[in-house]
Amino acid sequence: MPEFLNEILFIFQRINWVSVLDLALVTAIFFIILLLVRDTQATVLLRGVLFLIILLSLMTQFVELPAFNWLIKTTLPALLLAIPVIFAPEIRRGLERLGRAGSTGLIPRNKTSEEAVKSSIRIITNASARLSARRHGALIVIEQLDSLRDYTRTGVYLDANLTPELLLQIFYPNSPLHDGAVIISGQRVIAAACVMPLSASGILNRLPDRQMGLRHRAALGTSEASDAVVIVVSEETGSISVAQSGRLFRGLDATRLENMLIALFTSPPGIVDTINLFGWKIRIPGLKKKEEK
């Protein structure tokens, strides 16, 4: 025991500011990697890789196995090359987030554009609330910086003015366009009945509520593949959910939905509270007052 304490003391005596910086950089890299793979299938794969590395290290350190050591040293470079292939979707998503860093998205640059964005938000909120009351399932995708042109080609091209009546008519049960997603860009409905990518993260499988189907999987998948904000109205329960950056926020009413969209797309005055939204602290107007009532 005294020898072990002496070794620890010797290590601390050799630490300087360069060593602290080195450790901080390594810690930051691991933290970013874990943050990117959180709530994805890569979490299970990463856990398996770490378990395998620890097991192999213990076997090679405490047991003399020459042939096994040779096999590990020979196959290790191939395993390292396989990691980018296994984690390709997560690596791509992380690079896309870095590329979007500092971008303003749909935040309006002047008062006129801000009013236009708020008008679109009110229309979407109004339509979502009416669809929820009628229990008409809906999937509304709001485009941001990432282009959704590939997905619009899978549906019916509209390029129509955004109105609540149009959204209600599109998602009316058994109508030709109700099955699929509506893609909105600015104040225009670009396309309807679009086929969106399904999430493979398994988040919905871990939730106790099993009443979420393909619409919620498509919402999560779209938010994982792009920076779009996706609104889902459940056909079974009429509940409203929002998916963004691979996260799903459920049980929203019209007021909270509007506040959330305003916080994402505008910079409103009169901030009264903040919430942890999509991994970032977002300031929501009027949220605290509503919760205190």
Q: Does residue 173 sit in the same domain as residue 221?
A: yes
Q: Indicate if the pLDDT at residue 189 is higher than 50.
A: yes
Contacts of 196 (CB under 8 A, 6+ apart): 139, 141, 151, 180, 181, 218, 219, 221, 222
| Both tokens assigned to 95 | 């690079």
**Three-state DSSP class for residue 43:** helix
Q: What is the total count of domains within the chain?
A: 2
Q: Which among 99, 132, 161 is the end of a domain? A: 99
| Mean per-residue pLDDT, 238-247 | 88
Kindly report, residue by residue over 4-17, the tens digit of the pLDDT. 677 777 666 777 78
Between CA 175 and CA 14 the distance in angstroms is: 72
Report DSSP state, residue 173: T
| Mean per-residue pLDDT, 10-30 | 80
Chain position carrying tokens 């679109």: 120
End-to-end CA distance of the chain: 60
Q: Indicate if the pLDDT at residue 275 is higher than 70.
A: no
Q: In the chain, what percentage of residues exceed pLDDT 70? A: 67
Nearest alpha-carbon partner for 250 in 239, 259, 261:
239
Q: Measured between alpha carbons, how far is residue 60 from residues 77, 80, 189, 283 in Å?
A: 17, 18, 61, 52
Question: Is position 191 within any domain?
Answer: yes
Between CA 121 and CA 261 the distance in angstroms is: 7
Q: Does residue 186 sit in the same domain as residue 230?
A: yes
Question: Is position 106 within any domain?
Answer: no
Q: Which among 49, 71, 99 is the end of a domain? A: 99
Question: Is position 281 within any domain?
Answer: yes
Give the pLDDT band (50/70/90) at residue 230.
very high
Q: Does residue 43 sit in the same domain as residue 142?
A: no
pLDDT, residue 93, reads: 62
Question: Is position 37 within any domain?
Answer: yes
Question: Is position 104 within any domain?
Answer: no
Query: Regarding predicted confidence, which is higher, 91 or 162?
Result: 162
Q: Does residue 149 sit in the same domain as residue 73?
A: no
**pTM > 0.75: yes or no:** no
Neighbour count for residue 176 (Cβ, 10 Å): 10
Q: Does residue 183 sit in the same domain as residue 207?
A: yes
Q: Indicate if the pLDDT at residue 111 is higher than 60.
A: no
- Return the bridge partners of 275, or none: 282
> 21 is in which domain, residue-wise?
2-99
Question: Is position 232 within any domain?
Answer: yes
